[in-house]
Structure 1
Amino acid sequence: MSLSLIPIPTGNFKLDGGAMFGVVPKSIWQRTNPADENNLCTWSMRCLLVQTGDRLILIDNGIGDKQDAKFFSHYYLHGEDSLEKSLHKAGFGYSDITDVFLTHLHFDHCGGSVKYGKDGSLETVFGNARYWSNQDHWQWATQPNPREKASFIKENILPIQESSQLNFVDSGASQFLPGFDLTFVDGHTDKMMIPRLKYKGHTVCFVADLLPSVGHLPLPYVMGYDTRPLLTLQEKEAFLKQAADDKWVLFFEHDATNECCTVKHTDKGVRVDQIFPFSEL
């Protein structure tokens, strides 16, 4: 079964460059990701719409708009794109989405799942959709460790279960649908899901927070947010070796400048080969 893919940009936000690159010095990481006067770098929240048969699957959905002004003041939302605008530009509305596939439940990936209704109560944005997580990650997110607690906002998560729209992918499953394969990784957060999609003869990998940007390709470039950074190193190494061997296309959720790239083996390890917009596939 063939897949149709459409990038869905939902806007940009800012995060501290040091937090995004961990132990790597600013003098190095700022070459690829320049910071502003507050040491903040711009990051995208680029989601992906997958059309196959009678299913319309949205992978992640951005930060949403229901948090208060104090919350958003920390992240400097900017840009002309929004989830609703981008879906409309693609010819769809919220009610058309049949499945919402959440790579993980950090607020910048699932905040668009839930909104405040007219009566002030929380309700799901995609009323006709099944929402997909996995049981291990769901437990991790709803019983959060102190280090990640601020990233798992209960208003983004619990209403999905309360709506009876929550579904679980089997932890460790190799496939979600034909042409929609999965890799599970645990370095960033427990059981994050990385989709691999067959598209126009390519394998397109939605890399989520395993590789936030082209600037994160070298192995030591690991986010300070990762719960198990040494495991991230191992997972990145295995993933990038296969991506270079099999000529995968990496689709970046957070790289504000680069939508896609391929990688190649070099004397310094796996590095970027070609960078291009998704439209060139």
Structure 2
Amino acid sequence: MKIYPIEAGNFKLDGGAMFGVVPKTIWSKTNPADANNLIDIAARCMLIEDGNRLTLIDTGMGTKQSEKFFSYYSLWGDHSLDKSLAQHGFHRDDITDVFMTHLHFDHCGGSVNRTADGEGFEVAFKNAKFWTNENHWQWATQPNAREKASFLHENIIPMQESGQLHFIQRPDTDFGFSNEMGFNIFFADGHTEKQMLPHIQYGDKTIVFCADLLATAGHIPIPYVMGYDTRPLLTMGEKTKFLTAAADHNYYLWLEHDAHNPIVTVEHTEKGIRLKEVFRLEDILI
């Protein structure tokens, strides 16, 4: 097995929204904001090469939205999904599976492109199966008012119309094995219904793709919950369970949204679970 980072593009989000009730004087120590109160955010996807299977976890925002739409997110840097795939010798047509942790636009927007004439939409990975779960699909296609702006019809429905959409069955245990994907998955409902966190066994290491359960290293303390979460108290319980396991078993936590700390470990301390060590991607992905 080989794992590659796929940098799908950087953007910025409001620091207050990212940290909910935590005061700026506290969160700005780990996630400094610019003059507009915006903090750096990454869309660091993961590509897993395992035999004949090439699985992409999340796809970033994509490029099909309007200039006005992207202006809300202050895009920065020169990363792109296609450029990052090419750097590792791959093309989007090589992808066999696209695993979506959840269907918010910044996690699945790159799964769908505009058609050549610009009038319609088509899946961006023509040879891939697209994986979500049935409960989350229903949640995304019949969105509540709070999340409606994050579940964009054009990002989601073309997967179903293509016939390439598939549903993952939830394992019987919290960190159970998925027969469909070949790795363990932790399901979390606090951010959105049935978000999925893959646990990848990579040699003697377990690498966990944290998606939005743990957005950045600054979010490790249990009460540091994003304002975007639909059920913040539930998130706190899920973080406790997840981070306890991460500290107990020395999981390597792949931070999709942390622009500066790509992989971290955590440990038990007198103050609770805290950051243990930060790793560069090249330190882990041999």
TM-score, structure 1 normalization: 0.97
Whole-angstrom distance in 1 between the partners of 2:107 and 2:202 = 23
- How many angstroms apart in 2 are the aligned matches of 1:263 and 1:28? 19
1:119 Cα deviation from its structure 2 partner: 2.6
Q: Does 2:251 match 1:278?
A: no
* Structure 2 residues not aligned, in runs of 5+: none
Q: Residue in 1 aligned with 2:190? A: 187
Partner of 2:235: 232
Instruction: Provide the C-alpha distance between the structure 2 equivalents of 1:122 and 1:10, rounded to a whole number of angstroms.
Output: 19
Aligned to 2:110: 112
- Which deviations, in whole Å up to 9, do the C-alpha atoms of 1:188-229 show, x marking residues without a partner? 000000000001210000000000000000011000000000
Structure 1 residue 278, shift from structure 2 partner = 1.9
- Give the whole-Å Cα distance in 2 for the aligned partners of 1:77 and 1:127: 27
* Compared CA separation, residues 172 and 143, structure 1 to 2 (3 A): farther
Code of the residue aligned with 1:181 in structure 2: it is N
User: Which residue pairs with 2:178 in the alignment?
Assistant: 176
| 2:14 alignment partner in structure 1 | 16
Q: Does the 8 A contact of 1:135 with 1:171 survive in 2?
A: no
Contact 2:217/2:258, CA 8 A, preserved across alignment: yes
Match for 2:216 among 188, 213, 216?
213
Deviation larger for 99-108 or 118-127: 118-127
The answer for the alignment partner of 2:271 in structure 1 is 268
Question: 1:254 aligned to 2:263?
Answer: no
Moved over 4 A (4+): none
User: Which blocks of at least 5 consecutive residues in structure 1 are unaligned?
Assistant: none
Residue 141 of structure 1 corresponds to which residue in structure 2? 140
- The alignment of Structure 1 onto Structure 2 pairs a total of residues equal to 279
Task: Give the Cα–Cα distance (whole angstroms) in 2 for the partners of residues 106 and 152 of structure 1.
Answer: 5
The structural deviation recorded for 1:179 is 5.5
Q: Is the 8 Å Cα contact of residues 244 and 263 (structure 1) preserved in structure 2?
A: yes
Deviations 1:160-182 (A, max 9, x none): 00000000001346223575110
Relative to the length of structure 2, the TM-score reads 0.96
RMSD: 1.0
- In the aligned structure 2, how far is the partner of 1:266 from the partner of 1:79? 36
Q: Which residue number corresponds to residue 94 of structure 1?
A: 92
Partner of 2:161: 162
